[in-house]
Chain A
Amino acid sequence: MIEIEGVTKIFGVGAEAFTALDDVSVTIDANEFFTLLGPSGCGKTTLLRVIAGFIDPTRGRVTLDGNNLLNQPPYARPVNTVFQSYALFPHMTVAQNIAFGLEMLGKPGSEVTSTVDEMLALVRMTEMADRKTSQISGGQQQRVALARALAPRPKVLLLDEPLSALDFKLRKDMQLELKRLQSETGITFIFVTHDQDEALTMSNRIAVMNEGRIRQIGGPRDIYDHPAERFVADFIGDTNFLDVELLKVEGEQAHIRLPSGSEVVARAAQGGGRTGGEVTVAIRPEHARMDEAEGALFQGALSNVVYVGTDTHYHIDLDSGGQFIVRQQNQPDQRHERQVGERVGVNFGAGIGQILKD
């Protein structure tokens, strides 16, 4: 279990000071696949490097199973990293790369050999053992980097955007491969990415970061369906935002009035928030339905129809101002096409809208 408490990192001094991490606290459980998700510059890589030992935090504590990590140099921490660039040693073979950490730990030769073989098998690279790292493909390099970091059996594996250099198809395969390795080895994975798909596909839990702070922590479904604030809703997936009036809050249920005057039940903001007045509600495009104008929650004019293969996106100019997008899956027996300019209505069920904290 990794406990991170109040970690702050300020680079530079005076006017040029830049706060990369701002009072970050999070607890990561053993055997967890934990993802740090955020745009570039949000501090996710800095946090990873603090755990690895390449950056000293300005303030804060980092412990692993109760032991303080911060007073140990990187080479004494039972934590290994898969680098974004893989950082495979170019003057060594695949097998020598994987053996490196074990040799540094002073493991006996027989154990080194057997562990290397085991790791090669684990990442399906046994035939490539004696190749130079420059003679294998990007995806293979990726797997060697993984095997090298897993070989010393670290308590925690840190992965710094390891899939970003791979092409789309390979990336999809590696996502599943990583998930498999994590469950087979039982090692805690801390995974850094800016790619929401990766995060949603692999993680047990995700921490969404922005501007040096953690904005929300939760399971993939939680984060996607129930974003806590505007940044999270906006960063992950597409979202419609509606300014509404909050009438009353009963536990998780929030009664709101839409600009059209219709009233509907939405989900209250995560961790409390306001109990009345103007709030923003987030609705995923695929969670709303486009219907006839008559009797719908609110109405507008269809301004654009975008066909994207699996789905069709309907852009609707609302009568109350602003735009709303509805996404509907395409069926082979699509009944009738909507025309641009047609008046339509939008409906969504109770508890679908999510009230945001900000």
Chain B
Amino acid sequence: MTDLSAARNRRDRNTRWLLLTPAMLVLLFAASGPLLIVLVYSFLTPGDYGGVEWQFSLQAWTNVLAERDIFTDEWQLADAHLTVLWRSIKLSFMTAVLAFIFGFPTAYFIATRPPRQRDIYMLLIMIPFWTNLLIRTFAIMELIRNQGTVNTLLIAMGVIDEPIQMLFTEFSLLLGMTYVYLPLMILPIYASMERFDFSLVEAGYDLYATRLQVLRKIIFPLVKPGVVAGSILVFVPCLGAYVTPRVLGGGKQLMLGNLIELQFGQLRNWPLGAALSLTLLVIVMIALLFYVRAVGREGETNV
């Protein structure tokens, strides 16, 4: 390499760092840096009034899954935590399945419209997605609460006498999260369907396949990466959901996010909260690894 390109490389490097500095400062101060402190806090002892004592302890990490019985002083599984963890995973999974059942036909419907219409339909999907999550959760809450639209309507029609309790149940969480995260399923499925070559379907029919067989054997395998991506995109934010379970679960149906918040609020156990946060982070990262692999594979097939 000549001196010339070396000098140019050096100049390039300096410009690059200068350009990146503002973004990196913001992110280090308010995103990445604090995460490291969470790691440190998870190994400390809780303070009496919140905060921490600067004393090393593994207790928080043990407490994620186990707790010491107050009376017998024996270790046992932390039922409360496990219930919440199980509910989080179960509801996230069911939400992804529901979102697929409704999202796949919708994405297919949009992808089979003429190009100009597709844009409009996608805008219709994007608008709810980018509008306030809290407001959309409120909207669901107002629909299903005891004095809400659905119950009032049913009583007025004489179908029921007493309001049906829908709010603060697992059903309400499932409904709310499916409603809120449905666009995240539709977007990637649509993205892979938009590029789908429908002459393949014609070839399928030409070779005696029925509609269902065409769907199962031709369309689905080719848009599967989009389905995987969509499922992960729904599953991941559900796992960490905080607002939806707080509004629709009302403190009765805790999910991981609410359990973490409790440690920083009423329960004043910051190290446990830190350890639970990192547990959530690890689960999410594993799910994202699947996502990267799915999307990576999709990229290859499209080259």
Contacts and interface: CB of A to CB of B under 8 A. Distances in A.
A58 B5 CA distance: 8
Interface in A40-74: 56-59, 70-71
B199 interface: no
Interface of B is mostly: helix
B10 interface: no
Interface of A is mostly: loop
Nearest to B6: A56
Interface string B1-25: 1101100100000000000000000
Contacts of B4: 56, 70-71
A59 B3 CA distance: 10
A107 B1 CA distance: 37
Contacts of A57: 2
Nearest to A56: B5
Nearest to A68: B4
A59 B1 CA distance: 8
Interface residues of A, number: 6
Interface in A2-24: none
A59 B2 CA distance: 7
Contacts, number: 11
Contacts of A70: 4
A59 B5 CA distance: 10
B13 to A, nearest CB: 15
Contacts of A71: 4
A8 to B, nearest CB: 11
Categorize the interface residue count of chain B.
under 10
Interface string B105-127: 00000000000000000000000
Residue from A56, A57, A58, A59 with most neighbouring chain B CB atoms (10 Å) = A56
B12 to A, nearest CB: 11
Nearest to B3: A71
B101 to A, nearest CB: 45
Contacts of B2: 56-59
Nearest to A55: B5
Contacts of B8: 56
A58 B1 CA distance: 6
Contacts of B5: 56, 58
A56 B8 CA distance: 9
A71 B4 CA distance: 7
B8 to A, nearest CB: 6
Nearest to B8: A56
B145 to A, nearest CB: 53
Interface string B249-291: 0000000000000000000000000000000000000000000
Contacts of B1: 58
A122 B5 CA distance: 39
A81 B1 CA distance: 26
Contacts of A59: 2
A68 to B, nearest CB: 10
B10 to A, nearest CB: 13
A117 to B, nearest CB: 38
A223 to B, nearest CB: 33
B174 to A, nearest CB: 50
A193 to B, nearest CB: 28
A195 B4 CA distance: 34
A57 B5 CA distance: 8
A183 to B, nearest CB: 35
Contacts of A58: 1-2, 5
Nearest to A13: B1
A95 B4 CA distance: 36
Nearest to B5: A56
Contacts of A56: 2, 4-5, 8
A112 B57 CA distance: 75
A57 B8 CA distance: 12
Interface in B98-151: none
Given A56-B4, A58-B1, 4 more contacts: A56-B2, A56-B8, A57-B2, A58-B2
11 contacts: A56-B2, A56-B4, A56-B5, A56-B8, A57-B2, A58-B1, A58-B2, A58-B5, A59-B2, A70-B4, A71-B4
Q: Considering the complex of A and B, which 3 residue pairs feature the smallest CB-CB distances, nearest first?
A: A56-B5, A56-B4, A70-B4
